[in-house]
A and B are shown apart, each in its own frame.
Chain A
Amino acid sequence: MAARNSFKGDWLVLPLVGIVAVLLLWTASSASWAKSLPSPLKTWEMSKLYVMEPLAKRGELDQGVVRFTWYSLVLVTKGYAIALLVGTPVGFLLGCSKRLTLMFDPIIQFLRPVSPLAWLPLGLVLFQKSEPAALFTIALCAMWPTVINTAVGVRAVPQDYLNVARVLKLSRTKTLFKVLLPATLPYMFTGFRLSLGIAWLVIVACEMLIGTPGVGGFLWQEYNSLIYEHIILCILTIGLVGFVLDRLMGMVEKRFSAV
């Protein structure tokens, strides 16, 4: 039965069917109960300029989608880098020491669910400027999966490998770089991928609040200007970029766990 119902084009046809169904639902909604929701066609007409001239710059908050995406990505990269640079060593320390874990695990579990929207004002208070505040928020929110996965990875290093290190009397640094780190890499990269997903979620929220040029900033401005079509354009852009980032990191992750 199963064999008869599936054919080779499934991977392409079925997603297309899904997309068409959602487009129909969207069109029907904008025509019936949600009158202020722009229809797909209208969205495209209003957004054409931004998509077809993706690199144009007409004003601070009037630029092509690729430019906005680029600004957001630059900010995300900075915040994400901080998250990894801080999160990886912290995760290692937690993984190596039971005491440190007992000390800090409750705090981590406590801080982890705090929304970026709550951190940003604190960042603004601390740094007085919007960009460092945004980086602070991204780093703080995106750090946790890296911390937790790295710690789990370190704890999961087989005792056999550690015995080898002990029998050969490897120094602490050598044990770290030759045994612990390579054995933990697959876990670390899972953490890195999850962190990147969160960083991308957070950036949009940050930009909406601080109003810098970027996908999130543009979205908020167009909401205030009552151009709802552009809100949808932004949502689609954010989704697409997030999807691509996740896929890219997934490929990197696969590469490292294949060892």
Chain B
Amino acid sequence: MNSNDKYLEICDLTKAFDGPTGTIEVVKGFQLKVKCGEFISLIGHSGCGKSTVLSMIAGLTLPTGGGIILNGREIDGPGPDRGVVFQAPCLLPWMTAEENVLLGVQQVFANDSKQRQREIAREYLELVGLGGAFHKRPAELSSGMRQRVGIARAFALSPKLLLLDEPFGMLDALTRLELQEILLSVWQRHQMTAVMVTHDVDEAILLSDRVVMMTNGPQARVGEIVNVPFARPRDRISLLESAQYEDVRDNVLSFLEERSNIKPRLPIESGAVSNASAEIATRT
């Protein structure tokens, strides 16, 4: 196993919060290895702790047990090597679209000239289809356009790892489809590793190499992992027409409906996980 196979390694991750009724372990014994350049989706029921896992990878909250190793270094806080796209775009309302993107660019490309930094910011805004909106403030943009700015801001950092927390959850269906395509094409061009939280099964299948399904919380962990075998570049139409698509989709849905509540007493060994995914791989 070379180091590329565990570019991102999440070991026995646990997060406990002190609640009014005592300590609640939201996530417990979460194990996952992510290859360099892989696209992973975390899927599970609402409140199962998907976002908590993502936020720990981002470094915004620290785990209470276990650890996360990114490219050989343990994560101990946030940093611009990880681009985060939040559920709400979280733009600073007093800045224009360009300035919002520029804020990150200046951090990562601090040694470049102002002119160059501006070019980078504009390049990414154009990439997400906001070529004409450089100087608009968030209040003047639709929610879809704001989320595009958020995506541009994350991509403009040229991060090694892209973290997406239900990035399209608040958008209407048409905008969502469009932004999924944009995300896919930009991700493909930059060959970065990505972890996305979502509860949209179709979105997870379209975008990811593996769909990681989490059990219901508390003490949520990886339930099963489904390999998505479709060749890239993918396009939605031919994906939907293929027979395999239904199989993968049914597998994920049946997990969410039937098997997500099963709680083995011991955390699943990594061997068990790969067995599960191997089984699915043979089925598909």
Residues on A facing B (Cβ under 8 Å): 160-161, 163-164, 166-170, 178-179, 182-183, 259
Contact = CB atoms under 8 A, between A and B. Distances in A.
A259 B107 CA distance: 25
B60 A169 contact: no
A178 B102 CA distance: 12
Given A168-B107, A170-B107, A178-B103, A163 B90 contact: yes
Top 10 A-B residue pairs of the complex, sorted by shortest distance between their CB atoms: A160-B90, A182-B94, A166-B78, A259-B94, A167-B84, A168-B104, A167-B78, A168-B107, A164-B90, A169-B80
A106 to B, nearest CB: 28
Nearest to B100: A164
A143 to B, nearest CB: 26
Nearest to B88: A160
Contact of B86 (A163, A178, A179): A163
Interface of B: 58-60, 77-80, 82-84, 86, 88, 90, 92-94, 103-104, 107, 137, 157
Contacts of B92: 161, 164, 178-179, 182-183
Contacts of B104: 168
Nearest to A179: B92
A161 B93 CA distance: 10
Given A160-B86, A163-B60, A163-B86, A168 B94 contact: no
Given A167-B80, A170-B103, 17 more contacts: A160-B88, A160-B90, A163-B86, A166-B60, A167-B58, A167-B60, A167-B78, A167-B79, A167-B82, A167-B83, A168-B107, A168-B157, A169-B80, A178-B92, A259-B93, A259-B94, A259-B137
Contacts of A160: 86, 88, 90
Nearest to B87: A160
A78 to B, nearest CB: 30
Nearest to B154: A167
A163 B94 CA distance: 16
Main secondary structure of the interface of B (DSSP, over half): loop
A74 B77 CA distance: 51
A72 to B, nearest CB: 35
B39 to A, nearest CB: 20
A27 B157 CA distance: 74
Nearest to A166: B78
Nearest to A170: B107
B130 to A, nearest CB: 18
Contacts of B90: 160-161, 163-164
Contacts of A166: 59-60, 77-78
A182 B86 CA distance: 21
Contact of B80 (A168, A178, A179): A168
Contacts of B94: 182-183, 259
A154 to B, nearest CB: 16
A168 B103 contact: yes
A169 B86 contact: no
B155 to A, nearest CB: 13
19 contacts: A160-B90, A161-B92, A163-B84, A163-B86, A163-B90, A164-B92, A166-B59, A166-B60, A166-B77, A167-B80, A167-B83, A169-B78, A169-B80, A169-B107, A170-B103, A178-B103, A182-B92, A183-B92, A183-B94
- Quick one: which of A163, A164, A166, A178 has the most chain B CB within 10 A? A164
Contacts of B103: 164, 168, 170, 178
Nearest to B137: A259
Nearest to A160: B90
B192 to A, nearest CB: 16
Contact of A169 (B79, B88, B137): B79
Contacts of A163: 60, 84, 86, 90
B173 to A, nearest CB: 25
A167 B84 CA distance: 7
A169 B77 CA distance: 9
A162 to B, nearest CB: 10
B54 to A, nearest CB: 12
Contacts of B77: 166
A12 B78 CA distance: 59
